[in-house]
Every structure is written in structure tokens, then in C-alpha cells.
């Protein structure tokens, strides 16, 4: 096919974003960070004073999200929001708006539009199950809860932010529980997805494994 897809789904702070971006880079493929769209939607709702529980209101915003991915940055209404969408409260808001079927429907076509030649690496929760069910390679990338909390902790410290490991562990498990329990597009490993547990792997090892799988499909 002229437009192969690799989907990388998994829980928060598993490192799937880092691995997905590097795999895309190595292959010269496009990259879709679908979580960023949910984060943008949460941030946009906050700025437009629309409640995260207001399904129709948030879906309306999602359908006309004035967002762009350009120069390695994420833009909302012409403002660089790359850092703002990574805040922990926006991650929590993203997981709340992502549980609304109306919001997921509003973002579906926008995600599929990322699939253009020479190919795409897409990361998220439902890339292999809903958005790109016919992907050539589906990966479910995870790591133990302890390792994920530690990675998120180090990320925050590196950014010069204050961080509390227990708090992070609680936040991650709350977000995972909501992502896995929701009725639409819940977080789970698809039967045809390959499991990549990165608890004991370096980033390079994880990237090489995905590339090896892809070379063999
Ligand atoms: O991957 P990231 O942590 O940036 O995603 C933020 C939130 O967006 C997740 O907790 C999840 O609830 C939601 N999400 C989703 N489906 C995706 C990507 C993200 O529901 N494909």
C-alpha cells in the first residue's frame, strides 16, 4: 500500500509518544499525536468557558478546533500552546472530554486526514481499534505503573516543574481507569496488536522493536 499505518496505543506516560515520533522520523512517515487533539479540545473549552462535562458544547468546539501542528509545535488560534497542553490538569481534562462519544466523533475524520503518503505513525488509545482498524502494524505499548510514574516524574523535574511521585501515581491510575472503563473506544489491547512492554527497555530498543516488526509485515 502507498499509505501504510503503524498504530501505537497504550496507557499514559508509557513513552508511546516518544517512540512513535522516533519511528515516524526513521521511516520518513507523518506522525499523529492524537492525544494532543483531546488536550487541545480540553484547553480550548477551558479558554472558551465551556464545561468539560458539556458534551454538545465541547463537541461543537472540537469540530471547529482552530489547531495546527507546525514547526514541531502545537498551535491553537495562532498561539503556541505546546507547553500549555502538557499541563497535568489539561491531561485530566483531555481524559474527561475524551469519554464523550460526541467529542470522539467530532475528531474522527480530522485524525484520518493525517493518513497521506508515504505513511503514518499514529499514537493514542484507539488508533488500532477505531481510527485505523486496518493498520499494517498495531502495537500496544505499555510499562509497569511504577516505571510510568517515574518517567513522568523525571519529565516534570526536567521541565523545572515541581513534582510529587505519589501524586503522579494517583493521577496516572485515575486517568487509566477512566480511559479503560469508558463505553466508547476504551483503552485496551486489541487481539491483533503486538504487546511491547518497555519497562526494561531503552527508548532505542523500543524503537528498534517496532521497526523490526514493521519490516516483517
Ligand atoms: O496520550 P495523552 O496522554 O496525550 O492523551 C490525553 C488523554 O486523551 C488520554 O488520557 C485519553 O483520555 C485521551 N485520548 C483518547 N484517545 C486517543 C488519545 C488520547 O481518548 N486516541
ipTM, interface predicted TM-score of the complex? 0.98
pLDDT above 90 (res 59): yes
Q: How much is the pTM?
A: 0.94
What is the Rg, in whole angstroms, of the alpha carbon atoms belonging to the chain? 16
Ligand 1 atom closest to the CA of 131, numbered from 1: 21
Strands (E), 12-76: 30-33, 67-70, 73-76
Which of ligand 1's atoms lies nearest the C-alpha of 176?
10
Structural element, H or E, at residue 6: strand 5-9
Average pLDDT over residues 171-197: 93
CA-nearest residue for atom 20, ligand 1, is 98
93 is in an annotated binding site: no
Per residue in 68-121, pLDDT (tens digit) is 999 989 999 999 999 999 988 999 999 999 999 999 999 999 999 999 999 999
Q: What is the pLDDT of residue 10?
A: 95
Query: Does residue 9's CB lie within 6 angstroms of at least one atom of ligand 1?
Result: no
Is the CB of 148 inside a 6 Å radius of any atom of ligand 1? no
Q: What phi and psi, each to the nearest 5 degrees, are found at residue 7?
A: -105, 140
What ligand 1 atom has the least distance to the C-alpha of 179? 12
d(CA 33, ligand 1 centre) in Å: 9
Place of cell 522520523: 25
Q: Which of 35, 173, 175 to mutate for ligand 1's pocket (most ligand atoms within 8 Å of CB)?
A: 35
The answer on whether 129 is annotated among ligand-binding residues is no
**Cβ neighbours of residue 167 closer than 8 Å, sequence gap 6 or more:** none
Beta bridge partners of 75: 68, 80
| Cβ 94 under 6 angstroms from ligand 1 | yes
- 126 and 143 in contact (C-beta within 8 Å)? no
Instruction: Note the pLDDT tens digit of each residue in 106-129.
Output: 999 999 999 999 999 999 999 999
Q: What is the DSSP string of 177-205?
A: HHHHH-SSS-S---TTSEEEE-TT--HHH
Amino acid at each position: 500500500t502507498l499509505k501504510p499505518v503503524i498504530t501505537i496505543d497504550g496507557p499514559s506516560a508509557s513513552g508511546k509518544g516518544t517512540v512513535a515520533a522516533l519511528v515516524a522520523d526513521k521511516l520518513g512517515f507523518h506522525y499523529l499525536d492524537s492525544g494532543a487533539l483531546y488536550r487541545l479540545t480540553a484547553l480550548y473549552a477551558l479558554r472558551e468557558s465551556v464545561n468539560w462535562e458539556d458534551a454538545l458544547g465541547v463537541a461543537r468546539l472540537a469540530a471547529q478546533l482552530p489547531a495546527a501542528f507546525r514547526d514541531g509545535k502545537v498551535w491553537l488560534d495562532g498561539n503556541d500552546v505546546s507547553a500549555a497542553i502538557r499541563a497535568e490538569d489539561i491531561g485530566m481534562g483531555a481524559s474527561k472530554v475524551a469519554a464523550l462519544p460526541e467529542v470522539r466523533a467530532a475528531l474522527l475524520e480530522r485524525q484520518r486526514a493525517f493518513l497521506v503518503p508515504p505513511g503514518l505513525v499514529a499514537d493514542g488509545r484507539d488508533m488500532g481499534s477505531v481510527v485505523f482498524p486496518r493498520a499494517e502494524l498495531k502495537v500496544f505499548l505499555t510499562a509497569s505503573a511504577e516505571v510510568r510514574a517515574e518517567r513522568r516524574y523525571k519529565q516534570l523535574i526536567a521541565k523545572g516543574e515541581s513534582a510529587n511521585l505519589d501524586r503522579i501515581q494517583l493521577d496516572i491510575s485515575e486517568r487509566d481507569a477512566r480511559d479503560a472503563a469508558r463505553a466508547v473506544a476504551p483503552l485496551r489491547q486489541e487481539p491483533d496488536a503486538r504487546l511491547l512492554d518497555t519497562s526494561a527497555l531503552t527508548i532505542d530498543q523500543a524503537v528498534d522493536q517496532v521497526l523490526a516488526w514493521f519490516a516483517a509485515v
